[in-house]
Structure 1
Amino acid sequence: MRGGILIRRSRLDITLAILKIATNGAKKTQIVYGANLNSTIANKYLTRLEDKQLIEQKGNMFITTDKGRVYKDLASELDVR
């Protein structure tokens, strides 16, 4: 919320936040807090990102894959806000 106005983030914004947080590996709790998500929504994003091979789970850690890093870098370059 900014100045009393609720600002919604796009799916891309949330995806990029998760990929950035998990670049060097992160636990689910770190992703939830770092991306400001609740556990249910984080699970949906993590499942989707794993299905697309942008992130992988090793034990209790989530790590951005090489494909995920390329995606994050390209999407960040194209973001013209």
Structure 2
Amino acid sequence: MNANRRNNLDICADILRIAQGGARKTKIVYGANLNFKIIKGYLKELIQSELLLHDPPNYYATPKGVTYLTKFEQLLED
């Protein structure tokens, strides 16, 4: 197993970080280093959790998503 493998929380944080100012799916895929098949599930889950908003064609991190991202980054600092 690769020690540098990202977990789901890291991937979700990457997606939210990219989508803070609004981003299309392609930008998120390339920025998070994922493929279109994989990103589909993450986007669906983040939207259902109200961390991400889809306003076609863009995705935006919601205030709840930004709070998640801030707390996640604080945990990494500790």
TM-score (norm 1): 0.89
Residue 73 of structure 2 is matched in structure 1 by 76
Q: CA RMSD in A?
A: 1.4
DSSP 3-state at the match of 1:62:
strand
Q: Deviations over 1:23-62 (max 9, x none)?
A: 0000000000000001111110000000000001001100
Alpha-carbon deviation of 1:70? Answer: 0.3
Residue 25 of structure 2 is matched in structure 1 by 28
What are the residue-to-residue correspondences of 1:1-81 with 2, within 5 Å? 7-80=4-77
Q: How many residues align?
A: 77
Whichever structure has more helix as a proportion of its residues is 2
**Partners of 1:71 and 1:9 in 2: CA distance:** 17
Structure possessing the higher radius of gyration over alpha carbons: 1
Gaps spanning 5+ residues in structure 2: where?
none
2:69 is matched by which residue type in structure 1?
K
Gaps spanning 5+ residues in structure 1: where?
none
Query: Segments of 4+ in structure 1 off by > 4 A?
Result: none
